[in-house]
Structure 1
C-alpha cells in the first residue's frame, strides 16, 4: 500500500492528503522530521545507502523521514530508532523549529516543511545499529567544521580518515536549509543544551 502524507499549502496550513509518489511528482508541500545528533563538539551525519532510490551514497541528516498522514511531528522519532537503532531519551531532544526546504530534480520536486530537532548525548560507534537499506554509515564531524561548510565559509572539510567532504557530497538541500542548521547548532551551544 502506498504511503500517504498530509498535504499543506505554502503557509503550512493542512489542505488534505496524497500519496508520497504524487506529492513528489506534483511538488506539494508536506512534513518531514529531521534529527541531528550532537555531542559536546561533534555532529553526526549519515551516508545514505547505495541502494536508496533517492540520493544514494550521499551524506545527509543523522536521521530523517516523511511524516505519514496519521502521525504528528513527534512520531518522527521512529526514524531515529529505525535508522540508527537508538532509543530516544525525550529529555535530550530539542525542537528547533521548521525550515522550508525545496529540492528540484527533473522528475521530482520535494517541497518540505522540515521539522528540525537536535538530540544531544554522547555516542560511541557501537551505540548504532544501522538499518542497512537506509544507512550505509554514520560519521562524526566537528560542529564548527560542518557549520563552516554549511555557511559557505569553506569549500571542503576533512573528517575521519582524511576524507574530504564538500556540499556536493550532501543531499542537495537548499542553501537556506544548511544555513538554518548551522544557526541551530549555534543556538544549542549557547543554550548549553
Structure 2
C-alpha cells in the first residue's frame, strides 16, 4: 500500500516535507519506520518470514514486526498498528520498550533505494505462537528462534535465510533482549 510518509534528513530530523512511500523509495529519501522485536522469557525471539511478493527480501526471516510510519503518525501508534496488522496481536504503549533509532541505507536497484530510520522497540511475547494471526499479504510465516541459535548464526555469518541487516544491529538487539531475561 502506498501511503504518505514524513521525509527526514540524513540525521533523522524531520524536514517538514512528506511524499508517497513509493517516491521515497524511488529517490532514496530518508523516512521513518518501526521495528518491533518480540521475545519470550525462555530466551526465544519471534521472526517473521517476509511474504513471497515483497519487493525486498522476499521469503527471508526478518524482525518480528516492521512497517512504515504514516505522515504525522505518532511513532508508538504506528508500532501498535503494525503489530496488530502483521501478527494480529493487541499491545499497548506500556508494552513497548524503545531501545533506539537505527539508520539503514540499502540500494536494491536504481529505482528502489531504502533509506530509513528504524524506531526500534522490544516487547515481551506472552501469547502462544499458534495464537498469532499473520497478515497474508505481508507475512509468509512466523517462528521462534532461540537466542543462542540466532547468535551462533550471526557469529558464523550464516545469514542466507535472514534479511541482511548490519550485524551490529542484530548484535545490539540480542544484547538488549538478553538484558531483559
- TM-score, normalized by the shorter chain, greater than 0.5: yes
**Is residue 2:172 matched to residue 1:183?**
yes
> How far apart, CA to CA, are the structure 2 residues paired with 1:181 and 1:10?
22
Aligned residues: 177
CA RMSD after TM alignment: 1.8
Q: Which of structure 1's runs of 4+ aligned residues deviate more than 6 A?
A: none
> How far apart, CA to CA, are the structure 2 residues paired with 1:73 and 1:95?
10
Which blocks of at least 5 consecutive residues in structure 2 are unaligned?
Answer: none
- Aligned to 2:160, the other structure's residue is in SS state helix
**Is residue 2:128 matched to residue 1:139?**
no
The residue correspondences of 1:1-193 to structure 2 (distance < 5 A) are: 2-15=2-15, 16-40=17-41, 41-76=43-78, 77-106=80-109, 107-150=111-154, 153-156=155-158, 167-173=159-165, 175=166, 178-190=167-179, 192=180
CA-CA distance at 1:134 after TM superposition: 0.8
Length-normalised TM-score, structure 1: 0.84
CA-CA distance at 1:2 after TM superposition: 4.0
Which blocks of at least 5 consecutive residues in structure 1 are unaligned?
Answer: 157-166
CA-CA distance at 1:127 after TM superposition: 1.8
Bigger RCO (CA 8 Å, 6+ sep): 2
CA-CA distance at 1:11 after TM superposition: 1.4
> How far apart, CA to CA, are the structure 2 residues paired with 1:187 and 1:23?
30
